[in-house]
Amino acid sequence: MHVDNTAAIVTGGASGLGAATAKALVDKGSHVFALDLPAACEAAGPAPDGVTYVPTDVTDEAQVRAAVALAAAGDPLRVVVNCAGIGPSARILGRKGVHDLGLYAKVVQINLVGTFNVLALASEAIARTEPDEQGQRGVVINTASIAAFEGQVGQAAYSSSKGGVVGLTLPAARDLAQYGIRVMAIAPGTVDTPMLATVSDDTRAALAAGVTFPHRLARPDEYAQLALAIVDHDYLNGEVIRMDGALRMAPR
């Protein structure tokens, strides 16, 4: 699928994986609407050329509807990449007691329900566009995690939410096939994003050493490169691709 002279939505688009993906799509000729929380958009400063920041809470249906309408108002909306997410850590039963139910619900609400909300509402807009000569209208790429398969100690909420994204992939692809919309997911390993900014150098080195090969953290631009490859490859659909350097997470 060609993305030049089209519109794209990238959630979590003000930083990390989302910002890298927005840049990559702009470089391919797409106008990107980067959805992120107001504070994140403000912290990012002026939007890069070709990117429009749209302050949006992905769990809010009305806000996402408005953002999708904005993105679909000009060039045809063809690509959606869901990168918005959070990853707090807490044990089910820890020194301070039982895992806070509100925290668990918040992680699932943002990472899974927010992903579904954007997927569904953006697909509605994509379905209204004219298909290309092969009947294609668009592609949605969601972000899972290798924690969906090998969740570590303290990742019950995060792994649950990302496991839900994995489980969503195939039925979403089947649901949306009649509209010419593909659905894929990327499951990154340890990526050098703002989520790791507070981690010590020693911890980062240990994380990098645990990767089978190459012995380093992944870069956000490598996620973006894979996202573009999925967009370009018309026969990829309904699948989750691990981007992890063959890393298999240990219990802790």
Which amino acid is it at 174? Answer: R
Residue 179 in tokens = 């509209």
Count of CA atoms in the C-beta half-sphere (13 A) of 89: 8
DSSP assignment, residue 71?
A: H
User: In the annotation, is 158 catalytic?
Assistant: yes
* Overall residue count recorded for the chain in this entry: 252
Residue 210 in tokens = 């645990």
As a whole number of angstroms, the distance between CA 119 and CA 113 comes to 10
Give the DSSP H or E segment for 165.
Answer: helix 156-176
Catalytic residue of the set 53, 104, 158, 223: 158
Q: Which of 159, 15, 139 is nearest to 83 (CA)?
A: 15
For tokens 């890393």, the residue is 247
As a whole number of angstroms, the distance between CA 22 and CA 51 comes to 7
Per residue, the 3-state secondary structure of 183-248, as one string, reads: EEEEEECCECCHHHCCCCHHHHHHHHHCCCCCCCCECHHHHHHHHHHHHHCCCCCCCEEEECCCCC
Residues with catalytic function: 158
